[in-house]
Amino acid sequence: MLSLGNGKICFKFWRSYNLIKMAIKSETKEKIILLLASGVVLGLSRSPRNYFKVLKGAAKEWKEINRNKLVRIVREFYNDRLIDYKEDKDGSVKIILTKEGQKKALKFKLDEMEIKKPAKWDGEWRIVIFDIPERFKKAREALRMKLKDLGFLELQKSVLVLPYECEDEIDFIVEVFLIRPFVRFVRVKSFTNEEQLKIKFGLY
């Protein structure tokens, strides 16, 4: 886990994260990043800095993307240092994500995140409590917005609640935002004045 120290790491992350949010809006570009992040191999005839072709034996996921568009985006990603390549013994190359490319993949996964509503409530409340310093204000506001986007309701400004299983999702969010030391995840069976929340969540 990264240490937040004096805030430099968090500042660099948020600067990068905000640039990412402004960058790729194309669904095809997003799909390519996520395919690479999930380990779907893309083989090329040679380095993307030169003329290249996508190998015929590419996985079916790549064949669903227009070949000319795929070639153009791969070259663009290479120039933007989002991808790199690794040479095989036969002279072909495999595309891999750089650290910046991995950050984009995390951002896309975060944007697509949803919390499934079960057919029947298990009777437990999931509560997220955070006390994030002012120097990490952007991360704090992003966390609050993301929790609300996922369906959480506020008990207090820094205490939000949801009745559905979401521990893995919260763990992922705090890791991406680099705020783990400041966030607590709690499960409780009941608390005072919960009836109004049961009505709002449609638990009756």
Fold of 8-112: Arc Repressor Mutant, subunit A (1.10.10)
Q: Has this prediction a pTM greater than 0.85?
A: no
CATH 3.30.70.240 in the chain, residue ranges? 125-200
Q: Which residue is listed with tokens 């120039």?
A: 79
Confidence band of 3 (pLDDT split at 50, 70, 90) = very low
Q: What is the percentage of the chain residues whose pLDDT exceeds 90?
A: 48
Residues of the chain with CATH 1.10.10.10: 8-112
Q: So what's the pLDDT on residue 124?
A: 97
Mode of pairing for the β-strands spanning 125-130 and 93-97: unpaired
Answer yes or no: is pLDDT of 126 > 50.
Answer: yes
Determine phi and psi for 5, rounding to 5 degrees.
50, -130
CB distance 10 to 2 below 8 Å: no
Considering 38-52, 55-69, 84-98, 168-182, the range whose residues carry the highest mean pLDDT is: 168-182
Identity of residue 44: L
Nearest-CA neighbor of 47 among 13, 16, 92, 14? 92
Asked whether residue 193 carries a pLDDT value surpassing 80, the answer given is yes
Q: What mean pLDDT is predicted for residues 182-202?
A: 95
Mean pLDDT within 148-165: 96
Mean pLDDT estimate for the chain: 84
**Residue 105 — very low, low, confident or very high, per pLDDT cuts 50/70/90?**
confident
Matching CATH number, 125-200, of 3.20.20.70, 1.10.3720.10, 3.20.20.220, 3.30.70.240 = 3.30.70.240
